[in-house]
Structure 1
């Protein structure tokens, strides 16, 4: 079942120049205009600020292994329940070479042999950061700092916080699974959106 966002997407046809440029770039890069981008087109300055920020983060976040970055962001989106983030994130992760089994079995990360001890610690941390209230412990931070270093810990924290912002914003606006992974062999489970008030 396709749902409609609570704020309609700005269509490419008839949109202003900035929206058309952003839509064309997104279509080339991702094969479609991501719905959060199309919805953000109603506030062009924030859309542009978000695009600059996302590009800067993508270029700056290079301390952690790419697979660890993908796993913690995917886990965060799943915990929040943002089906759009899960769908889009899975597509990006698979294009970047992450094994689909590692996404399919992410709910079993604590006991699955598919994950390293460091990945398990980072995934626990992502869950603790995403919990309300936050349940991060001194011990978690100390162990991750020991394993990843200060820069790695900061990158991990930033990426989980950013994914929380993305996922919660999309959930609030009713932006759901866009079908980036539908029909693919990966069959990554997509979180179902929460009920609408």
Structure 2
């Protein structure tokens, strides 16, 4: 285990307030909370953010998400446990997260358009970019995983 560099909750409290505003909006947006949580978890898997994976897994379990869906999310393409809407959102989240090689492929955009309105796609994209930002803070500062308890951050939104 590597040592934490900066305690973002202490030293970055003012900066994080801006991020909490995004979280507050997303908690009331057009995308259902269980789907947002799947997106947060999947993007955190892609980015390798231990803190966010620990946090979201605990929150998702507390909210009734099945172990099976959590365990197989990394292989969602081949698992039968996700709806067409979830699959479209997961494909969109992966493409937006891995955008360094160009843009989001047309086929991914067409897939997401079959399941989401334009407003929902904007909200979905905001969710993806927000969790990517949190991942980057936690990875850069090596935020220690394992101490989070379900609901710890609910009061911040």
Determine the structure 2 residue equivalent to 1:123: 90
- The 3-state SS of whatever aligns with 2:81 is coil
**For residues 133 and 27 of structure 2, what CA distance do their matches in structure 1 show?**
16
Determine the structure 2 residue equivalent to 1:186: none
Determine the structure 1 residue equivalent to 2:65: 98
The alpha-carbon distance between structure 1 residues 44 and 79, as it changes in their structure 2 partners (threshold 3 A), is closer
1:88 matches 2:64: no
1:159 matches 2:147: no
Stretch of structure 1 that moved more, 111-120 or 138-147: 138-147
Which runs of no fewer than 5 residues in structure 2 stay unpaired? Answer: 150-157
Larger Rg: 1
Determine the structure 2 residue equivalent to 1:22: none
The alpha-carbon distance between structure 1 residues 149 and 85, as it changes in their structure 2 partners (threshold 3 A), is same
Aligned residues: 148
Match for residue 168 of structure 1 among 133, 136, 142: 136
Which runs of no fewer than 5 residues in structure 1 stay unpaired? Answer: 10-38, 182-197
Determine the structure 2 residue equivalent to 1:143: 111
Q: Over aligned residues, Cα RMSD in angstroms?
A: 2.1
Q: Whose helix fraction is larger, Structure 1's or Structure 2's?
A: 2
**For residues 143 and 102 of structure 2, what CA distance do their matches in structure 1 show?**
25
Contact preservation (8 Å) 1:72, 1:126: yes
Determine the structure 2 residue equivalent to 1:31: none
Deviations 1:143-195 (A, max 9, x none): 312311112111111101111111011101111322448xxxxxxxxxxxxxx
| Greater relative contact order (CA < 8 Å, ≥ 6 in sequence) | 2
Match for residue 44 of structure 2 among 52, 77, 99: 77
Deviations 1:49-96 (A, max 9, x none): 33344333323x2x2232221111110000000010001011111222
Report the alpha carbon displacement of residue 111 of structure 1 after superposing the two structures with TM. 1.3
Report the alpha carbon displacement of residue 134 of structure 1 after superposing the two structures with TM. 4.9
User: TM-score, normalised on structure 2?
Assistant: 0.82
Contact preservation (8 Å) 1:84, 1:170: yes
Match for residue 19 of structure 2 among 50, 54, 73: 50
- The 3-state SS of whatever aligns with 2:44 is helix
1:111 matches 2:110: no
Contact preservation (8 Å) 1:87, 1:180: yes
